[in-house]
């Protein structure tokens, strides 16, 4: 990792679930543009510490912050404290998420509630807590919500996940309208199939081949490709973009 420009210098960015996978790539991409990045995690402090160390070793700025996005009071307290500690918050990336898969008829209330609590309520908790800080951002504040191609096209065995991600799109659009008059932009990125811990486990070779057949670009995406999209939406180039869903999916959904 190396610093590419200072377009985000003096900005503080919070990346939820920044300790692994796509969130790690987003944290690194924002740091490469000069932002001070707060790397959130919930269960693996060592992963967050590794991301922070990597960014600092490359000449960037980063700290870690452990909190569970599904805990409403915990999020409010943590974001308030982080704003105080770092002199504000300019960029919020709602990336933390879980994929609990299973056929709808066998899906439990607990599985449904957990998916919604982390993926959808988690983003709501963070946006609500961050809004007072984003309104006072040094340049225009930015919110970037990581939804999924599945939120727009569905997927068998992922009813809760798809519903939570579709909900994030509605949340993005409504928030974009609410905050536009204060120059805060709110956008979503909808990744297609990206190689991370989330997707590594449960894909037998025959299913992988089937999936590849549905991706016009013929390959699975890399987490850094989502990081680059987030760095674009956070940057000055994207100042006039709000309420959009940027699909980064190899053409899987057009």
Ligand X SMILES: NC(=O)c1ccc[n+]([C@@H]2O[C@H](COP(=O)([O-])OP(=O)(O)OC[C@H]3O[C@@H](n4cnc5c(N)ncnc54)[C@H](OP(=O)(O)O)[C@@H]3O)[C@@H](O)[C@H]2O)c1
Q: Give the residue numbers annotated as catalytic, written as ranges.
A: 161
7 binds ligand X (CB under 6 A): no
Pick out residues in 165-204 that bind ligand X (CB under 6 A).
191, 193-194, 196-199
Q: Phi and psi (nearest 5°) for 145? A: -105, 130
Q: Which is nearer to ligand X, 77 or 197 (CB)?
A: 197
Does residue 27 contact residue 15 with C-beta atoms inside 8 Å? yes
Q: Which is nearer to ligand X, 7 or 124 (CB)?
A: 124
The binding track of 111-150 with respect to ligand X, each residue x by CB under 6 A or -, is: -------x---------------------------x-x--
Q: DSSP string of 28-84?
A: HHHHHTT-EEEEEESS-HHHHHHHHHHHHHTT-EEEEEE--TT-HHHHHHHHHHHHH
Q: Where are the alpha helices (DSSP H) in the chain?
A: 21-32, 45-57, 72-86, 109-115, 122-135, 149-153, 159-179, 197-200, 205-213, 223-234
**Window contacting ligand X (CB under 6 A); options: 11-19, 27-35, 129-137, 203-211:** 11-19
Q: Which is nearer to ligand X, 101 or 199 (CB)?
A: 199
41 binds ligand X (CB under 6 A): yes
Say how many CA atoms lie within 13 Å of 114 toward its Cβ.
Answer: 9
**Window contacting ligand X (CB under 6 A); options: 16-24, 133-141, 207-215, 230-238:** 16-24
Q: Which is nearer to ligand X, 142 or 161 (CB)?
A: 161
Q: Phi and psi (nearest 5°) for 84? A: -65, -50
What does the chain come to in residues?
Answer: 254
The binding track of 46-85 with respect to ligand X, each residue x by CB under 6 A or -, is: -x--------------------xxx---------------
> What is the distance between the alpha carbons of residues 89 and 83, in angstroms, rounded to a whole number?
6
In the complex, the residues that contact ligand X under the rule CB under 6 A are 16-17, 19-23, 40-44, 47, 68-70, 95-99, 118, 146, 148, 191, 193-194, 196-199
């Amino acid at each position: 990792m190396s610093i590419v420009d200072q377009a985000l210098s003096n900005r503080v960015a919070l990346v939820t679930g920044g300790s692994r996978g796509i969130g790690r790539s987003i944290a690194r991409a924002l740091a490469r543009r000069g932002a001070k990045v707060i790397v959130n995690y919930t269960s693996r402090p060592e992963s967050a510490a590794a991301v922070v160390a990597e960014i600092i070793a490359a000449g960037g700025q980063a700290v870690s912050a452990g909190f569970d996005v599904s805990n409403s009071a915990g999020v409010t307290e943590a974001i308030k404290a982080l704003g105080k500690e770092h002199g504000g918050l300019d960029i919020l990336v709602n990336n933390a998420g879980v994929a609990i898969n299973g056929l709808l008829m066998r899906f439990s209330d607990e599985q449904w509630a957990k998916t919604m609590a982390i993926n959808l309520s988690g983003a709501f908790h963070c946006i609500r807590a961050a809004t007072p800080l984003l309104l006072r951002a040094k340049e225009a504040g930015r919110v970037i919500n990581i939804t999924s191609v599945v939120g727009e096209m569905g997927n068998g065995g992922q009813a809760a996940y798809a519903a939570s991600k579709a909900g994030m799109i509605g949340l993005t659009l409504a928030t974009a309208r609410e905050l536009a008059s204060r120059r805060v932009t709110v956008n979503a990125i909808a990744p297609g199939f990206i190689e991370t811990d989330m997707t590594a486990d449960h894909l037998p070779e025959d299913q992988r081949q089937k999936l590849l057949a549905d991706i016009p670009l013929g390959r699975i995406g890399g987490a850094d490709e989502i990081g680059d999209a987030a760095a674009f939406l956070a940057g000055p180039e994207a100042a006039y973009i709000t309420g959009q869903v940027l699909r980064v999916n190899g053409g899987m959904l057009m």
